């Protein structure tokens, strides 16, 4: 099963009564293990969480902190684009060269990287004087 297939499967569990927009994400960590997440919305709208954030939380809770590959899928006209917050979250655990596949449920894909998704990332180096 490919990483996109994992993201496609977990997308079915998304809790999206407000947007009706289901998203699935899958992360392959350095160990080779795969962690998945879906978006989980809340009646207090800002409390909702993105699929990517869920997958990252699952990875970290399992004791891993290095992302090797990412896949995200949604039923959108073009491959779904991670929000700004999720780009920063991905950059926390993945190098700039880490491959990211963005996909639509009808088979369109866009291959990019964490670095392309967030040029000029704020990182710990910038706090070296602290
Ligand atoms: N969403 C994600 O889960 N990931 C993305 O990459 C884009 C947006 C979710 C957040 C919200 O539940 C819904 O999609 C609509 O914004």
pLDDT mean over 45-53: 98
Nearest to 53 by CA among 95, 85, 31, 22: 85
Q: What is the mean pLDDT of residues 72-92?
A: 97
Q: Is the CB of 50 within 6 Å of ligand 1?
A: yes
Give domain 3-127's CATH architecture: 3-Layer(aba) Sandwich (3.40)
pTM, two decimal places: 0.96
Which of 7, 27, 74 to mutate for ligand 1's pocket (most ligand atoms within 8 Å of CB)?
Answer: 74
Please state the domain extents for the chain. 3-127
Report whether pLDDT(91) > 80: yes
| 94 Cβ neighbours under 8 A, 6+ residues apart | 66, 67, 68, 70, 114
Is the pLDDT assigned to residue 1 strictly greater than 80?
A: no
Please tell me the distance from the alpha carbon of residue 105 to that of residue 14, in angstroms, as a whole number.
14
Cα–Cα nearest to 74, from 2, 8, 18: 8
Q: What pLDDT is recorded for position 86?
A: 98
pLDDT at 112: 98
């Amino acid at each position: 099963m490919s990483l996109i297939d994992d993201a496609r499967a977990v997308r079915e569990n998304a809790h999206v009564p407000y947007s009706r927009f289901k998203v699935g994400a899958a992360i392959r960590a350095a160990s080779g293990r795969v962690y998945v997440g879906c978006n989980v919305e809340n009646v207090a709208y800002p409390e909702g969480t993105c699929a990517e954030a869920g997958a990252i939380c699952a990875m970290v809770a399992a004791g891993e902190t290095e992302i090797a590959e990412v896949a995200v899928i949604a039923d959108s006209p073009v491959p779904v684009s991670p929000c700004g917050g999720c780009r920063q979250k991905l950059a926390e655990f993945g190098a700039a060269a880490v491959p990211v596949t963005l996909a639509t449920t009808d088979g369109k894909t866009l291959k990019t990287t964490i670095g392309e998704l967030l040029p000029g990332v704020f990182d710990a180096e910038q706090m070296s004087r602290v």
